[in-house]
Structure 1
């Protein structure tokens, strides 16, 4: 898969154009890789599957916040995501409000990925971080 620039890094931002065939090809490549990964994760026993799910979400959360110039304590994000997903019964959210916010965002995105993307939903996600 080729490395693409962020859309805001393009010289024609925000008035860029794209070739549908390139976009479709990239989406197809992503879908193939994501499907293989999902199949491998589903084949695991419950505990390793939970750990991998949390680890993937934590990595995405930390990268998302780095884009915003924020550095988060990984363990705080792990604890918050695991607690919100019900993987750590009796364990509370992180003391770090930023870690808690991004954990809420990641778990909400995971739970509502198939809902229409509305202004209210985007606002709620932005407010979380």
Structure 2
């Protein structure tokens, strides 16, 4: 990277971060608009790419989280930082049509957190997370 000129360095960084956001979301089954992602990253890094595409708040949240994680990788992972990422990803407090807890650990108000597939009435549970009472100690151990 040092042997490249500054404009080529910027383009390489922009392209790498754009692909990281796009591919990370594809893993989750979510396809983002590549131009929106590129524009959001360029705007946040102060890179001039000409006309910027308008971006939706979901793309902005994903980019904000990724840039914090990649640019501040040497900072400790804390509860506050995780909650900030969560708030960036779900600024409305909803995931689709479902209201979710944002910026805090989940509770058991709506039952256990499960990964489920299948038609209504014949759902298949693939995973059930530990109870919410265990979350603070489990997450403290994870962050340590």
Fold-level match, TM-score > 0.5?
yes
SS at structure 2 position matched to 1:72: coil
Alignment TM-score, normalising by the size of structure 2: 0.55
**Distance verdict in 2 for CA 1:119–1:91, change over 3 Å:** farther
Alignment TM-score, normalising by the size of structure 1: 0.60
Which of 83, 89, 94 matches 2:54? 94
Q: Which structure has the larger Rg?
A: 2
Which of 37, 40, 57 matches 1:77? 37
Alpha-carbon contact 1:84-1:93 (below 8 Å) kept: no
Large movers: runs of 4+ above 6 Å: 89-93
SS at structure 1 position matched to 2:83: helix
Q: What is the RMSD computed on CA atoms of the aligned residues?
A: 2.1
Alpha-carbon distance, 1:108 to partner: 1.5
Residue 25 of structure 2 corresponds to residue 65 of structure 1? yes
Flag the structure with higher strand content. 2
Structure 2 unmatched runs, 5+ = 90-144
- Higher-RCO chain (CA-CA 8 Å, sequence separation at least 6): 1
Flag the structure with higher helix content. 1
Alpha-carbon distance, 1:93 to partner: 7.3
**Distance verdict in 2 for CA 1:128–1:92, change over 3 Å:** farther
Number of equivalences = 89
Structure 1 unmatched runs, 5+ = 1-40
Alpha-carbon contact 1:83-1:91 (below 8 Å) kept: no
SS at structure 1 position matched to 2:77: coil
Give the Cα–Cα distance (whole angstroms) in 2 for the partners of residues 48 and 77 of structure 1: 19
Q: Counterpart in 1 of 2:99?
A: none
